[in-house]
Amino acid sequence: MLIALIAIPDSGLQAQDQETETKMRDAGAAVEVYKTTEDAEGAPVSLNAYVFYPADHKPTDRRSAIVFFFGGGWKNGTPNQFVEHCKYLASRGMVAMTADYRVLNRQGTKALKCVADGKSAVRWIRQQADRLGVDPERIVAGGGSAGGHVAACTGVIKGLDESGENTSVSSRPDALALFNPAVVLAGIDDRPPLDPEKVAGLPERMGTDPKALSPIHHIGAEAPPTIIFHGKADATVPYWTVQEYCGAMEKAGGDCELVGFEGQGHGFFNHGRGDNSSYETSIRQLDRFLVKHGFLEPPRSQDSPRLTTIDLSNDVDRQVIVDREPGQYLGHPTTCLLEDGKTMLCVYPKGHGRGGIVYKRSDDGGLTWSDRLPTPENWSTSKEVPTLHRVIGPDGTKRIIMWSGLYPARLAVSENDGLDWSPLKPVGNWGGIVVMGFVEALQTGPGHYLAMFHDDGRFFAADGKRSDTFTLYKTFSTDGGLTWSAPQSVYQSSDVHLCEPGCIRSPDGKRLAVLLRENARRKTSHIIFSDDEGKTWSSPREVPLALTGDRHTGKYTADGRLFISYRCQSPVQSRKDRVFEGDWVGWVGTWDDLVEGRDGQYFVRLGDNTKGADTAYPGVEVLPDDTIVTTTYGHWTKGEQPYILSVRLKLSELDRR
């Protein structure tokens, strides 16, 4: 059976003329011609994109972008429909635009050409990204009714591009924002047609078989994340059609959010409709969606409590020297607390990153430390930062593993809680930098683990060479950390250098967050989320400056708050405004602060590093009495080599301060 989708009533606007362009300029838009083409009679047609830039926008920026397509039943309509949406999103930091496209009443064209124009608009943004100050990997397409159909087609239907265009440049957006969209144009299941007369005319109106332009019939695994706003009382595009669409998206493994509006009909979301409450609700929900998927920074409330800054660097009573050797650089420690709540292990290199591995043990929760313990001979050949992790096999066997990175990545194993260790042995024909930033137990089965690391091309393969691209990799183990899968790319970019991942699981256990250093020093640190135990990840988004730095390591305390230790390292443009720049710092906040992008509660200096930013690859452990023991290296004495130091604290003590 076919499903008819009735057009919005004709607005009376028959042509896009100079008056329209003037109105758009008066609203603050820059006018760009994104395509020159022909109408149904072969006469030339120029199609405009009306671009709204953020107030502080620069051509060198890498902003996210959104393009809206107006509704009008593929017959009429005007780009003015989404002006207020564009203005709002530009105020939030996006490059927002509303695009003209060919329609029946002006150019005599059919829906097939509407879709071709939509694909051209997305491709044009990607091609002009450098000039527009846009990130070509963060482009959203949106629209209402027929315009929602156009946007949906750009996201899920292959082909239908304008002939002669450079199809090596993708016309698929990275997300979709659809308002009462027409997404079902052909039969599904045994649903009866809504209006036989309109069904009969649908092939003529489309200019092709309606199924070829029916988004629901083309959904695949590559469909971009989508949010749909729809009135539950819509008599033009029935609500059940978008329910079916989201169901098909989810069945294909995609991400589709449906926001339904009780009692609302077609076009409910438009600015100026009623008291604007539906517009305001939908734009807030769109904002939330764009933040979630990394297209917008979280909004900053003027009423948010101010971040408290605390300096503990002179509280020597909190400090324990783990190891110090005159004239010898000691750096980059990792700790591991055993289940008894008091046995703590620590490893670190004799040198900056690379160097022979030193191993120590504490039997009293880090208050005192053993002498340096014997290690296998080839630990002296470690090329990079060693990291310790507790793992448990599918049969319940407890082990501790120690990674050593660069090429090839190597692993040492202890099966008696660190009393004895194996030599370092290659894990596979691959390597990377800071292997591993974390090892996280997964809920997919006993002995299942996820780990992440990064590389810049030098160490992933034996013959690697440095490149401008940083790649974040993930690898999995199903045997308790003894063997690991071939690494897969999670994210790569030559502009944003994301690296040194640190993982935190949500309090309910259902979600993973990974905090990432931004090594190009152009942006703040980033965060990504996974809702499927690391199989897929959200687009990276920036975190507040308060949480920006390197090598984040975090643990929960008894009251559910997070303590995260890291090096305070800011984007170049922010360094003069940042207290404790280059020092060892901690952050106190909540999981919700991470999700919502809030500043958190406390920003704490743990150690005053006296040389540049050469400090802070931290271990963080929480003892049974809720004491936090965090450990790192730094130039704690001016003019001397760095050494290993622990700081002990409780959040209740910070609360009193």
CB 525 within 8 A of CB 516: yes
Sorted by sequence, the CB contacts under 8 Å of residue 298 that are 6+ apart come out as 291, 541, 544, 596, 597, 598
> In angstroms, rounded to a whole number, what is the distance separating the alpha carbons of residues 394 and 385?
28
Q: Which of the residues in the chain have pLDDT under 50? A: 1-15, 192-193, 301-304
Q: What per-residue confidence (pLDDT) applies to 13?
A: 34
Report how far apart, in Å, the C-alpha atoms of 425 and of each of 268, 303, 379, 399, 430 are: 63, 54, 10, 16, 12
> In angstroms, rounded to a whole number, what is the distance separating the alpha carbons of residues 496 and 407?
23
Give the ranges where 293-326 is alpha helix by DSSP (H).
none
Q: Is 19 exposed, middle or buried (0-12, 13-18, 19+ CB in 10 A)?
A: exposed
Is residue 446 reached through a cis peptide bond, with omega within 30 degrees of 0 on the bond before it? Answer: no
Check residue 223 and report its DSSP letter: P
Torsion angle (degrees, nearest 10) of CA 542, 544, 547, 553: -40
Give the ranges where 522-590 is alpha helix by DSSP (H).
none
Q: What per-residue confidence (pLDDT) applies to 202?
A: 79
pTM over 0.95: no
Report how far apart, in Å, the C-alpha atoms of 172 and of each of 155, 169, 329, 420, 426 are: 5, 9, 51, 54, 40
CB 516 within 8 A of CB 500: yes
Within a 10 A sphere around the Cβ of 584, how many other Cβ atoms? 30
> In angstroms, rounded to a whole number, what is the distance separating the alpha carbons of residues 17 and 442?
59
Q: What per-residue confidence (pLDDT) applies to 2?
A: 32
Torsion angle (degrees, nearest 10) of CA 241, 247, 251, 255: 110
Q: What per-residue confidence (pLDDT) applies to 198?
A: 66
